[in-house]
Amino acid sequence: MLDPDQLLSGLNDAQREAVTTVEGPVLVLAGPGSGKTRVLTHRVAYIVGVVGVPAWHLMAVTFTNKAAKEMKERLGGLIGPTALDQLTIGTFHAICARLLRREAQTLAFDDRFVIFDTDDQLRAIKQAMADLNLDEKTYRPQSVLGSISSAKNELIRAEDYVAPSYWHEVAGRVYKRYQAILRANNALDFDDLLLETALLLRDNETIAARYKERYGFLMVDEFQDTNTAQYAMLRSLSAAADKDAPHNLCAVGDEDQSIYRWRGADYRNITRLRKDFPGIKVILLEQNYR
């Protein structure tokens, strides 16, 4: 076990509160240079090393591999390699890919699926358009792909896509053909990783219950950047629909970015968070150390 006084030394009052408030939902609004990475790593170390929660009950989600790597490096020095190996730390996409491979027997693809990158996606879109005799000058492949990506981020499958205009009706046809090409190649794109995971956890109660039981403590960095699919995944894992669940979700966001970036889906997620977790505690990290 870790010495709590030593672990918390050097943290200001707001940081200490964010680290030690481990029960119930928490929203940490952290401005630039306020030490949010330190708060996240010390919070994990506090839950594991002071509270005594087994490390495999924790999931920490980041948006970049760099952030995940930095978190692992810092935690290695705090909790040691054995506990570190038991933690689930990674990007949304990496964590979703692992979960889908584990649960592939219930899905429309097998666990050897490949992940299409942007170049692969564009080739598949162009192939879909060629199959449908569509002119790339009239319907730019990049724009069509963007429309499909937006739909997936809003949890809309190809068969449920509703077109508000003729252009979108064409994009909807491409969407269906594009998905058929992905399936023929046993492939998912990056948006599929989020979509398939969010819908699996939403619609399969048995699988969702297993992951909710395993991950009793969730932490997500850069919450202001989450889309609808990512929020749906977090909502399922934190058992938002169960009023008696502990809801140990800690969302960390950059309040400065909220001025110009918490719009559209991002802004709605703040509203969703407050609605789904009415007792959420908000902690402001206002001291700048830069």
pLDDT of residue 257: 60
Q: Locate tokens 């629909």: which residue?
A: 241
Number of alpha helices (DSSP H) and beta strands (DSSP E) in the chain: 14, 8
Residue-wise pLDDT tens digits, 36-49: 889 999 999 999 99
Note whether 85 and 142 are within 8 A (CB): no
Alpha helices for 113-155 (secondary structure H)? 118-131, 141-153
Question: What span, in angstroms and rounded, lies between the C-alpha atoms of 94 and 91?
Answer: 5
Please give the single-letter amino acid code of residue 146. G
Note whether 65 and 95 are within 8 A (CB): no
Question: What span, in angstroms and rounded, lies between the C-alpha atoms of 123 and 125?
Answer: 5
pLDDT of residue 225: 87
pLDDT of residue 290: 65
pLDDT of residue 1: 86
CA 232 to chain centre: 9
* C-alpha distance from residue 208 to each of 32, 104, 228, 272 (Å): 35, 14, 18, 20
Parts of the chain with a pLDDT under 70: 255-267, 289-290
Note whether 98 and 106 are within 8 A (CB): no
pLDDT of residue 135: 96
pLDDT of residue 286: 83
Residue 203: its H or E element: helix 190-203
Residue 168, phi then psi, degrees to nearest 5: -70, -30
What residues have CB less than 8 Å from 158, skipping those under 6 apart? 172, 175, 176, 178, 179
* C-alpha distance from residue 185 to each of 114, 194, 240 (Å): 8, 19, 36
Whether the predicted model's global pTM rises above the 0.75 cut = yes
Residue-wise pLDDT tens digits, 51-71: 999 999 999 999 999 999 999
pLDDT of residue 254: 78
pLDDT of residue 31: 78
SS3 188: strand
